[in-house]
Protein backbone atom coordinates (compact mmCIF):
# COMPACT_ATOMS: atom_id res chain seq x y z
CA UNK A 1 0.00 0.00 0.00
CA UNK A 2 2.81 2.41 0.84
CA UNK A 3 4.43 1.92 -2.56
CA UNK A 4 1.15 2.50 -4.36
CA UNK A 5 0.60 5.61 -2.26
CA UNK A 6 4.02 6.87 -3.36
CA UNK A 7 3.02 6.35 -6.99
CA UNK A 8 -0.37 7.98 -6.48
CA UNK A 9 1.29 11.02 -4.96
CA UNK A 10 3.70 11.22 -7.89
CA UNK A 11 0.82 11.06 -10.36
CA UNK A 12 -1.03 13.79 -8.49
CA UNK A 13 2.07 16.01 -8.51
CA UNK A 14 2.56 15.43 -12.25
CA UNK A 15 -1.06 16.26 -13.01
CA UNK A 16 -0.89 19.40 -10.90
CA UNK A 17 2.35 20.47 -12.62
CA UNK A 18 0.57 20.59 -15.97
CA UNK A 19 -2.66 22.06 -14.66
CA UNK A 20 -4.88 18.98 -14.73
CA UNK A 21 -7.36 17.98 -12.05
CA UNK A 22 -7.79 14.29 -11.43
CA UNK A 23 -10.64 13.97 -8.91
CA UNK A 24 -10.90 10.18 -9.00
CA UNK A 25 -7.16 9.73 -8.58
CA UNK A 26 -7.21 12.35 -5.83
CA UNK A 27 -9.86 10.33 -3.98
CA UNK A 28 -7.90 7.12 -4.50
CA UNK A 29 -4.81 8.83 -3.10
CA UNK A 30 -6.80 9.86 -0.06
CA UNK A 31 -8.02 6.28 0.42
CA UNK A 32 -4.46 4.95 0.22
CA UNK A 33 -3.31 7.58 2.73
CA UNK A 34 -6.06 6.53 5.16
CA UNK A 35 -5.20 2.86 4.71
CA UNK A 36 -1.48 3.43 5.31
CA UNK A 37 -2.31 5.50 8.40
CA UNK A 38 -4.28 2.51 9.74
CA UNK A 39 -1.12 0.42 9.58
CA UNK A 40 -1.65 -1.45 6.32
CA UNK A 41 1.30 0.17 4.53
CA UNK A 42 3.12 -3.13 4.08
CA UNK A 43 0.22 -4.80 2.31
CA UNK A 44 0.01 -5.31 -1.45
CA UNK A 45 -2.08 -2.73 -3.32
CA UNK A 46 -4.71 -5.41 -4.04
CA UNK A 47 -5.56 -5.25 -0.32
CA UNK A 48 -7.57 -2.14 -1.23
CA UNK A 49 -10.28 -4.48 -2.56
CA UNK A 50 -10.79 -5.76 0.98
CA UNK A 51 -11.11 -2.19 2.22
CA UNK A 52 -13.57 -1.16 -0.50
CA UNK A 53 -15.66 -4.33 -0.15
CA UNK A 54 -15.94 -3.84 3.61
CA UNK A 55 -14.10 -7.05 4.42
CA UNK A 56 -11.58 -4.98 6.41
CA UNK A 57 -12.28 -1.65 8.03
Mean pLDDT of all residues belonging to the chain: 94
User: Residue 57: what pLDDT?
Assistant: 78
pLDDT band at 45 (very low <50, low <70, confident <90, very high): confident
Residue 21 has pLDDT above 90, yes or no: yes
Q: How far apart are CA 11 and CA 18, in angstroms?
A: 11
| DSSP designation for 39 | I
- Domain of 7 in residue numbering reads as 2-53
Alpha-helical regions (H) of 1-57: 2-17, 23-35, 48-53
Mean pLDDT of the region 13-17 = 97
Burial class (CB in 10 A: 0-12, 13-18, 19+), 4: buried
Neighbours of 5 (CB within 10 A): 20
pLDDT at residue 54 in the model: 93
Specify the number of domains making up the chain: 1
Amino acid sequence: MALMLKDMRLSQAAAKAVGYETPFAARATQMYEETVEKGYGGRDFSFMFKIVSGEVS
